[in-house]
Structure 1
């Protein structure tokens, strides 16, 4: 797999990188980056590209010159790849498409040559290479703008390494652009690096809500630290519940607050309007705009892949009819009876929970025929409609920013970590944190919670937002001898357990073959 020129997809950030560079990972031909070649470095443009890699896929929109070769450019999108890896093998979503690699994701039966697994791996290393390049070129600069940019770049590198530790475990590790084969480090060593990087860059990041919208501030570092600590036992074998709760509480008491209306978080004007106040909650968005950031990943993927033209108007002509909901997703909202075959508005009313934004008209709850999108209820959560009633900027490409990091995560992290630190006791701070989210959703509050109900609450609050796999692994409900199955888990309609080795994705065969320093994850 080859990484293309490090050029921005948006005209305002067009890069003039004329180096020829061999990548940080042996099989990555980052072209160009040769440390011996003289080049003109455009600092602001490269810095913009670092953020652009989250929401754009190449050098021109919407397709035609992708960052990562060997995979469909739309599929190579940062968020789309993460979403597929974290949603399709779980109890939340199932994809009816017969595209290469999709059934293996649905069933958790992928191998080391899987195209999307390989694409995800190289997408993350492309972004890390770009961060390393920027940090090398700005080394020694002490002006305030560069100091802030370097801190955010270190955060972004840590964010990409976070997905590598979560998805792949023991991985190649590089902090500079080099032609040498990188060494593989353990998951525990990478955990230490991510922790130290986030703590080191946080003091130089801008104060909460003082940075430009779309850029990370201190609160983003706190939230990522809380997420890292919440999963510390999975990554290192040593729990860090108190640290997870502490950093989550820093987020909860910051100037970011829960948006009053849940659905506003997933609408076309979630970057702020006279009606939509979602920016109060969104800590780090992946910026999308139907005119200037056209691509087939990001929020267009979220909206189009979950919708069909028969659904209530959702603000784009694109209805790809791909990702539907497994019945276990609906059961989180309807635990004692089947969800009704109604539209999203009526579904919310029936569930008595604003987060139950599903469409059941002319749908079957059970996915008996995997090739049919109407087998399985549809997710109506994501929309290119504006809360203020104005028109979106394009009829096809969408304006909804992906609410990539938001305050609600801190509430559930605090609740779970506090309960675990207390040996499973649902103390008042635990119930208060969860009830804050349930009150926002107009759902019934409870006086106490269990581990099981917290896991369900993660699903209700973050349904189809691209994190479910990690939560199931932390609760022991994903790979291995689990007491929890869902429809088509392991490739059978009634669900069956699959091996615990699928709790990690494999190091791609291409990289193993080109770098003798690498050892494959167990079971592949």
Structure 2
């Protein structure tokens, strides 16, 4: 069993303790409902609550397959499924078959409005995770934990750093997706009040400060408990924050991005030899490259909205589900011809990252509702290294972790930051990092290596697509390069038109949900919504 599930299997208990004491029948002794004070009376419960904080990124509820959901409506889906939909469906990397019935056409056509169900679901998911983190931190001050033994105090202090990191992940997503969310920390009051709204540059500064502090406190990659955040994770997220600083604040921080990337690299990560092993049922073993993952386990940490979505959803047309380690597919997600064109050979014979299913599939998407329109992608699988299925083949729930941060991304961030004028790195090192990625992609051959003259920003954007597709980076990347809205870059069905059409710049951020604005008079709307 994956080590992280020693944490995750306690999350349901933690929430039962926090929310209520449950009975199955009336033939029970009288009970008193648990409160926050009683839960945090025991040092061991802190780790259980921390487990729920981690699990808030992985599952949508308290029971198997997201049962007993944390939230209602579309927000009942797991964090990752919603995040994937917002980061990938509006881009050239994905189209969705059931957009009408699943209310996803506004996302994939970039026509959403202030009442969009999925962007609101992400908004509430983010704030839910932030709320869990704040509650933990509110009860983990030095004063409140002083009653425990020195060893217990030290452990809870370490757990605080984990929780602050997860909160920084959530706030970084709010910064990127919504820009100006309501802002609450552990110092705000408990109970009903109207949270204040934070400006985008101020939220950037807050996340930056949090990550710098936890990066100094978190353990190294070799000292961190399996599945928990490490120093490398904080610096990798900080590098991503700096790479997008110009979008968020109007001021570039490319030298800072290089410095943060160097800190990650200094931790001793190395590229996995085989690209496909980063996305299979045994990818929890890839700690050499995967810096931080949303962990899944088909028996213990189960969701229809995590990587189960990324394994089953793309099984379309004649694709064989059993070859992907599951019993059936959902015929949901394919890709566009513009994304396919990033590869010169779609068979994967040269660049092994070209993982397309073409049998019976047309390249063009004439009808988004036809699962045979558009090539399929076979990146995520529930197969083990040995070729077996994941632990819960019978129920169709997968073991594959989602690599949220990994070394190849850090190498590409380093290279891009240097190209954009960042100091502290060299063009020679940038080229070396990129060619390490391409050598792996070409199965150890240097046939795909590029020269210094080939390394430019256009190449970086294309290489990020080839290396990181469906890892929830594409929307952010296209915005940073000025190609998400407007008409500089068109792909099929951008703007709801087959040939693609220009898109209003307001769609570079999602709106604050109309319902939340109606409930909170402190909230203003993003520009032009």
1:374 Cα deviation after fit? 1.1
1:252 aligned to 2:265?
yes
Q: 1:315 aligns with which of 311, 321, 325?
A: 325
1:72 Cα deviation after fit? 6.4
Within 5 A, what are the aligned runs for 1:294-373? 294-308=302-316, 310-312=318-320, 313-334=323-344, 347-349=347-349, 352-373=350-371
SS in 1 for 2:465: helix
Within 5 A, what are the aligned runs for 1:384-395? 384-395=382-393
Once residues 328 and 247 of structure 2 are traced to their aligned partners in structure 1, the CA distance between those partners, rounded to angstroms, is 39
Q: Which residue of 1 aligns with 2:441?
A: 441
1:407 aligned to 2:407?
yes
Q: 1:483 aligns with which of 484, 488, 498?
A: 488
Once residues 389 and 201 of structure 2 are traced to their aligned partners in structure 1, the CA distance between those partners, rounded to angstroms, is 49
Q: Which residue of 2 aligns with 1:23?
A: none
Alpha carbons of 1:440 and 1:47: their partners in 2 closer, same or farther (altered >3 Å)? same
Alpha carbons of 1:280 and 1:38: their partners in 2 closer, same or farther (altered >3 Å)? closer
Alpha carbons of 1:9 and 1:445: their partners in 2 closer, same or farther (altered >3 Å)? closer
1:149 aligned to 2:149?
no
Alpha carbons of 1:384 and 1:113: their partners in 2 closer, same or farther (altered >3 Å)? same
Q: Which residue of 2 aligns with 1:60?
A: 63
Q: Which residue of 2 aligns with 1:376?
A: 374
Deviates more, 1:82-91 or 1:169-178: 169-178
SS in 2 for 1:108: coil
Alpha carbons of 1:253 and 1:201: their partners in 2 closer, same or farther (altered >3 Å)? closer
Once residues 317 and 102 of structure 2 are traced to their aligned partners in structure 1, the CA distance between those partners, rounded to angstroms, is 25
Q: Which residue of 2 aligns with 1:456?
A: 462
1:310 Cα deviation after fit? 2.7
Q: Which residue of 1 aligns with 2:420?
A: 420
SS in 2 for 1:519: coil
SS in 2 for 1:383: coil
Cα pair 2:317 2:360 within 8 Å, conserved: no
Alpha carbons of 1:506 and 1:12: their partners in 2 closer, same or farther (altered >3 Å)? closer
Q: 2:245 aligns with which of 225, 228, 232?
A: 232
1:210 Cα deviation after fit? 1.6
Cα pair 1:348 1:356 within 8 Å, conserved: yes
Cα pair 1:321 1:373 within 8 Å, conserved: yes
1:429 Cα deviation after fit? 2.1
Once residues 514 and 127 of structure 2 are traced to their aligned partners in structure 1, the CA distance between those partners, rounded to angstroms, is 15
RMSD after superposition: 2.1
Once residues 125 and 525 of structure 2 are traced to their aligned partners in structure 1, the CA distance between those partners, rounded to angstroms, is 19
In structure 1, stretches of 5+ residues that fail to align are 1-7, 21-32, 273-277, 341-346
1:422 Cα deviation after fit? 6.1
Alpha carbons of 1:366 and 1:325: their partners in 2 closer, same or farther (altered >3 Å)? same
SS in 2 for 1:397: coil
Cα pair 2:229 2:292 within 8 Å, conserved: yes
Q: 2:113 aligns with which of 103, 111, 114?
A: 111
Once residues 288 and 9 of structure 1 are traced to their aligned partners in structure 2, the CA distance between those partners, rounded to angstroms, is 9
Alpha carbons of 1:40 and 1:426: their partners in 2 closer, same or farther (altered >3 Å)? closer
1:513 aligned to 2:518?
yes
Once residues 72 and 139 of structure 1 are traced to their aligned partners in structure 2, the CA distance between those partners, rounded to angstroms, is 31
Q: Which residue of 1 aligns with 2:509?
A: 504
Once residues 299 and 333 of structure 1 are traced to their aligned partners in structure 2, the CA distance between those partners, rounded to angstroms, is 25
Using the size of structure 1 for normalisation, the TM-score is 0.88
Cα pair 1:147 1:204 within 8 Å, conserved: no
Structure (1/2) with the larger helix percentage: 2
Alpha carbons of 1:302 and 1:485: their partners in 2 closer, same or farther (altered >3 Å)? same
Q: Which residue of 1 aligns with 2:80?
A: 79
Q: 1:121 aligns with which of 120, 123, 126?
A: 123
Cα pair 1:325 1:379 within 8 Å, conserved: yes
1:236 Cα deviation after fit? 0.3
Q: Which residue of 2 aligns with 1:285?
A: 293
Cα pair 1:191 1:235 within 8 Å, conserved: yes
Alpha carbons of 1:309 and 1:507: their partners in 2 closer, same or farther (altered >3 Å)? same
Once residues 431 and 44 of structure 1 are traced to their aligned partners in structure 2, the CA distance between those partners, rounded to angstroms, is 43
Residue correspondences, number: 483
Q: 1:187 aligns with which of 183, 194, 200?
A: 200
Q: Which residue of 1 aligns with 2:4?
A: none
Q: 1:165 aligns with which of 168, 175, 181?
A: 175
Q: Which residue of 2 aligns with 1:221?
A: 234
1:11 Cα deviation after fit? 4.9
1:34 Cα deviation after fit? 12
1:101 aligned to 2:103?
yes
Cα pair 2:255 2:417 within 8 Å, conserved: yes
Q: Which residue of 2 aligns with 1:14?
A: 13
Q: Which residue of 2 aligns with 1:26?
A: none
SS in 1 for 2:459: helix
Cα pair 1:92 1:326 within 8 Å, conserved: yes
Using the size of structure 2 for normalisation, the TM-score is 0.88
Q: Which residue of 2 aligns with 1:91?
A: 92
1:174 aligned to 2:184?
yes
1:40 Cα deviation after fit? 2.6
SS in 2 for 1:310: coil
In structure 2, stretches of 5+ residues that fail to align are 1-6, 21-32, 147-152
Once residues 495 and 13 of structure 1 are traced to their aligned partners in structure 2, the CA distance between those partners, rounded to angstroms, is 45
For 1:293-317, what per-residue CA distance to the aligned partner results, in whole angstroms no more than 9, with x for missing partners?
A: 2211111000111113732410001
Q: 1:211 aligns with which of 210, 224, 227?
A: 224
- Which runs of 4 or more aligned residues in structure 1 lie more than 3 Å from their structure 2 counterparts after TM superposition? 8-13, 16-20
